[in-house]
């Protein structure tokens, strides 16, 4: 099956690819061209709509989701600052690495992989942290961590949230939940190719920016003079024009379908997939009540694998014979779970039906 077949599988509402491909074909304007600036402003408006925020500093960082993580951390954390970080998967671990490279003191709050973090544990971990950081949707385990209670109890701390796999996929309320800094990615539930990291920052966080962040490229005070509408636009770095066209188009598709409808589509697919797996005797890995619809983690039953085929072999057959890519486990659950992403334009019932039928054929 060709790449094109896979990407275009499942046309219908919520498939941004026709628009995204057209967007990549648009003439590349200069990064200070008034027409491009207007399109950037409109992209940032659309991001405010999907993030559910009024933050003026809302824009796509010019690199993937991990750069959004780094951009938010380096601007509020330096030597002498304390950050509480929730860790129940790969991306919480990555936050600890990034924060310690900023010179900050890291207070870890761990939960078992597959379990959700207890918001109260994060609030109790330190009497006066500058930042509390948590991953909303842990892509490595399929677990959703609750954000609203942390925002409600954060006191003077800034709340920093990884929304890479939640934006567009599940309800997310930056302003109503009291989130001060958040970053996302284009290639997860928004269904746009990888390359940008939408970021949003509250006025309270801007007030507490470190004076000189340890990254020149990701210094949000400098970038703000280019991305924030109102004042004179000042060159910082050349915006990746075509990627911003693509994100603008992809967000347009999301808003045209309606954010709530997009989330409902993700939920319906996750529900059908998880029920289908349970019907077939599989055990879901993520804690009940905290399961992400867009990322289903399931324990691999070794006794169910056909003669001569290991779990990677099953994934290989899904890809080569059915055009379906599912993920293997990461870290401590490598080889023990499958992670099935059903997000963005791939979140459609027919894909779930096909996957379940393909598993029936391969596993017998
Ligand atoms: C994918 C992902 C990231 C990293 O994004 P990249 O685009 O790969 O840099 C960060 N956090 C979470 C939760 C993710 O799923």
Question: Which residue, by CA, sits nearest to atom 2 of ligand 1?
Answer: 164
Least confident piece of the model among 136-150, 227-241, 324-338: 227-241
- 241-257 helix and 17-24 helix, angle to the nearest 10 degrees: 160
* Token reading at 295: 């990322």
Mean pLDDT of 179-207: 97
Closest ligand 1 atom to 137 CA? 13
Cβ distance 218 to 71 under 8 Å?
A: yes
Predicted confidence at residue 303, as pLDDT, reads 87
Q: Is 70 in the pocket of ligand 1 (CB under 6 A)?
A: no
Maximum Cα–Cα distance for the chain, whole Å?
66
Mean pLDDT of 68-86: 98
Predicted confidence at residue 362, as pLDDT, reads 96
Tell the CATH topology of 3-13+259-363. 3.90.1150
Cβ distance 198 to 184 under 8 Å?
A: yes
Give the span between the Cα atoms of 44 and 42, in whole angstroms. 5
Residue 249 has pLDDT above 50, yes or no: yes
Q: pLDDT tens, 14-31?
A: 788 888 999 999 999 999
Predicted confidence at residue 10, as pLDDT, reads 54
CA of 188 to the centre of ligand 1 (A): 8
CA of 235 to the centre of ligand 1 (A): 28
All residues at 6 or more sequence positions from 339 whose CB lies less than 8 Å from its CB, including other chains: 139, 140, 142, 295, 296, 297, 326, 327, 328, 329, 330
Q: Between β-strands 137-138 and 82-87, what pairing exists: parallel, antiparallel or unpaired?
A: unpaired
Predicted confidence at residue 15, as pLDDT, reads 81
More confident residue, 303 or 243: 243
CA of 161 to the centre of ligand 1 (A): 12
Cβ distance 132 to 154 under 8 Å?
A: yes
Give the span between the Cα atoms of 223 and 330, in whole angstroms. 34
Closest ligand 1 atom to 135 CA? 13
Domain 3-13+259-363 and domain 19-257 have a common topology = no
The three-class DSSP label of residue 7 is helix
Residue 96 has pLDDT above 80, yes or no: yes
For residues 161, 240, 221 and 157, what is the CA-based torsion angle, rounded to 10 degrees? Answer: 0
Q: pLDDT tens, 127-137?
A: 999 999 999 99
Cβ distance 117 to 142 under 8 Å?
A: no
Mean pLDDT of 231-250: 94
The three-class DSSP label of residue 91 is helix
The three-class DSSP label of residue 56 is coil
* Nearest Cα to Cα of residue 269 among 307, 236, 296: 296
For residues 45, 50, 55 and 59, what is the CA-based torsion angle, rounded to 10 degrees? Answer: -60
- 241-257 helix and 34-51 helix, angle to the nearest 10 degrees: 40
Residue 77 has pLDDT above 80, yes or no: yes
Taking the mean position of all CA atoms in its chain, how far away is CA 27? 29
What CATH class has 19-257? Answer: alpha beta
Q: So where are the chain's domains?
A: 3-13+259-363, 19-257
Give the span between the Cα atoms of 122 and 154, in whole angstroms. 9
Question: Which residue, by CA, sits nearest to atom 14 of ligand 1?
Answer: 164
Q: Is 90 in the pocket of ligand 1 (CB under 6 A)?
A: no
Q: pLDDT tens, 266-323?
A: 999 999 999 999 999 999 999 999 999 999 999 998 788 999 999 999 999 999 999 9
Residue 85 has pLDDT above 50, yes or no: yes
CA of 89 to the centre of ligand 1 (A): 12
* Nearest Cα to Cα of residue 315 among 346, 291, 339: 339
Q: Is 162 in the pocket of ligand 1 (CB under 6 A)?
A: yes
- Confidence category of residue 245, pLDDT binned at 50, 70, 90: very high
Predicted confidence at residue 230, as pLDDT, reads 79
Q: Name the residue of 72, 188, 199, 327 whose CB sits within 8 Å of the most ligand 1 atoms, as the mutation to test its pocket.
A: 188
Residue 318: Cβ within 10 Å count: 21
Residue 8 has pLDDT above 50, yes or no: no
Residue 29: Cβ within 10 Å count: 16
Give the span between the Cα atoms of 89 and 191, in whole angstroms. 23
Predicted confidence at residue 302, as pLDDT, reads 78
Average pLDDT taken over every residue of the chain: 94
Residue 11 has pLDDT above 60, yes or no: no
């Amino acid at each position: 099956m060709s790449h094109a077949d896979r990407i275009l599988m499942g046309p219908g509402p919520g498939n941004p690819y026709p628009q995204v491909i057209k967007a990549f074909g648009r003439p590349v304007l200069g990064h200070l061209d008034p027409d491009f600036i207007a399109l950037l402003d409109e992209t940032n408006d659309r991001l405010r709509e999907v993030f559910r925020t009024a933050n003026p500093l809302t824009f796509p960082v010019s690199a993937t989701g991990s750069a959004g993580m780094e951009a938010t951390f380096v601007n509020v954390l330096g030597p002498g600052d304390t950050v509480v970080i929730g860790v129940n998967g790969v991306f919480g671990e990555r936050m600890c690495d990034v924060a310690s490279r900023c010179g900050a003191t890291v207070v870890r709050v761990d939960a078992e992989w597959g379990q959700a973090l207890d918001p109260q544990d994060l609030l109790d971990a330190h009497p006066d942290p500058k930042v509390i950081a948590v991953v909303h949707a842990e892509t490595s385990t399929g677990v959703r961590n609750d954000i609203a209670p942390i925002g409600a109890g954060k006191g003077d701390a800034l709340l920093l949230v990884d929304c890479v796999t939640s934006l567009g996929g599940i309800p997310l309320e930056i302003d109503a939940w009291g989130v001060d800094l958040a970053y996302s990615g284009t290639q997860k539930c928004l269904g746009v190719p990888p390359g940008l990291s939408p970021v949003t920052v509250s006025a309270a966080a801007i007030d507490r920016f470190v004076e000189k962040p340890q990254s020149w490229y990701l210094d949000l005070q400098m970038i703000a003079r280019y991305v924030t509408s109102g004042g004179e636009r000042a060159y910082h770095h050349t915006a990746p024009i075509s990627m911003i066209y693509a994100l603008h188009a992809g967000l347009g598709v999301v808003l045209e379908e309606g954010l709530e409808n997009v989330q409902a589509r993700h939920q319906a697919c996750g529900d059908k997939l998880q029920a289908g797996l349970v019907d077939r005797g599989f055990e879901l890995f993520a804690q009940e009540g905290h399961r992400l619809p867009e990322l289903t983690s399931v324990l691999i039953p070794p006794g169910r694998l056909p003669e001569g085929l290991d779990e990677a072999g099953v994934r290989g057959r899904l890809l080569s014979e059915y055009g379906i890519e599912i993920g293997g486990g990461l870290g401590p659950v490598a080889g023990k779970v499958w992670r099935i992403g059903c997000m963005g334009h791939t979140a459609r019932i027919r894909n779930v039906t096909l996957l379940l039928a393909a598993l029936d054929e391969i596993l017998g």
